Amino acid sequence: QDHLISAAHLSRDDIEAVLDHAAAVDADPDLVRGRHDGRVLALCFFEPSTRTKMSFESAMKRLGGETVDMGAVDSSSVKKGESLADTVRVIEGYADAIVLRHPSEGSAKLASEFVDVPLVNAGDGAGQHPSQTLLDLYTIRENAGLDDLTIGIMGDLKYGRTVHSLAHALTNFDARQHFISPESLRLPRSVRYDLHEAGAQVREHTDIEDVLSELDVLYVTRIQRERFPEEREYREVAGEYRIDAETLEAAPDDLTVMHPLPRVDEIAPDVDETTHAKYFEQAHNGVPVRMALLDILLGGDR
């Protein structure tokens, strides 16, 4: 059974198959309209979500399917102590595919071992968020191209699952990756190791000014308060690595600024009015990309 657990498992061919199909769907939604009539997608979110959950729901409905939602943890039998394995084993009987978000790293991999329907990791703690990466790559391809790319990835590189997934996926392309963060939020050792093994072109910086003028894309991330073991550690770095329209005066005119969202204060509202801002377009790309992904995982005629 095909699952989507980690971007590290995706080849360039896999990525291009999804992105090309998404582009075709974006251009002509009738291509897949109604193709999955009568099929059901289960949404199992053990952590909050706006974009991932709603764009998967919108994608499934546009494919002609339906969704069932486990709902909040407090209103499900998880509250009574049911294990993740039992939860997904039961839910696979109600659905043709499962989208799972869970606070524990490795949870999606574990859950996938108990089900025979496709399971998509929609975020496992500080681990991976591969469907986000597919829409990120789609947005990069549309705005800057994926070859001969210089990208800066800034903010919470330690706990940022969107960062870990994107960094892995970019090793399939001719991309120079610049990581910009405080010392305490550098990439985890395991991700650095994987990037090294893949021969990725990687540099680390503390100041955005050191590299801003070289970038095609700047991918900003939120410092995630909920992931820090101690509030004190969060406070030490909160509010750093913020950009505004003045910061971007030193950037190339065609710089693309992205953010997986939600943002707190990492990107000032005055950036929204600049031609650099692509983060709302990026969020909207979640629908065609997840339509393409679901169509492939559910065995559409591709």
Enzyme catalytic residues: 51-52, 80, 101, 129
The two structure tokens encoding residue 8: 């590290």
58 scored as a contact of ligand CP (CB under 6 A): no
160 scored as a contact of ligand CP (CB under 6 A): no
Q: Which of 6, 46, 52, 191 binds ligand CP (CB under 6 A)?
A: 52
Q: Which stretch binds ligand CP (CB under 6 A): 50-58, 220-228, 234-242, 289-297?
A: 50-58
69 scored as a contact of ligand CP (CB under 6 A): no
132 scored as a contact of ligand CP (CB under 6 A): yes
72 scored as a contact of ligand CP (CB under 6 A): no
Q: Which of residues 214-253 bind ligand CP (CB under 6 A)?
A: none
184 scored as a contact of ligand CP (CB under 6 A): no
Q: Which of 3, 21, 36, 51 binds ligand CP (CB under 6 A)?
A: 51
Number of residues that bind ligand CP (CB under 6 A): 8
What is the DSSP code (8-state) at residue 293? Answer: H
Burial of 207 (0-12, 13-18, 19+ CB in 10 A): exposed
Long-range interactions of 185-190: CB distance < 8 A, separation 24+? 185/155, 185/156, 185/157, 185/158, 185/159, 185/223, 185/237, 186/157, 186/158, 187/157, 187/158, 187/163, 188/126, 188/158, 188/164
The two structure tokens encoding residue 298: 């559910």
Cβ proximity to ligand CP, 123 vs 152, nearer residue: 123
Dist. CA 33–CA 39, nearest whole Å? 13
Q: Which stretch binds ligand CP (CB under 6 A): 46-54, 142-150, 183-191, 202-210?
A: 46-54
Q: Which of residues 254-273 bind ligand CP (CB under 6 A)?
A: 260-262
Q: Are 127 and 92 in contact (CB under 8 A)?
A: no
Cβ proximity to ligand CP, 202 vs 217, nearer residue: 217
Distances (CA, A) of 70 to 42, 53, 118, 223: 7, 11, 17, 28
Q: Find the Cα–Cα–Cα–Cα dihedral 117, 121, 127, 133, rounded to 10°.
A: 130
Cβ proximity to ligand CP, 155 vs 202, nearer residue: 155
107 scored as a contact of ligand CP (CB under 6 A): no
Binding site for ligand CP (CB under 6 A): 49-52, 132, 260-262
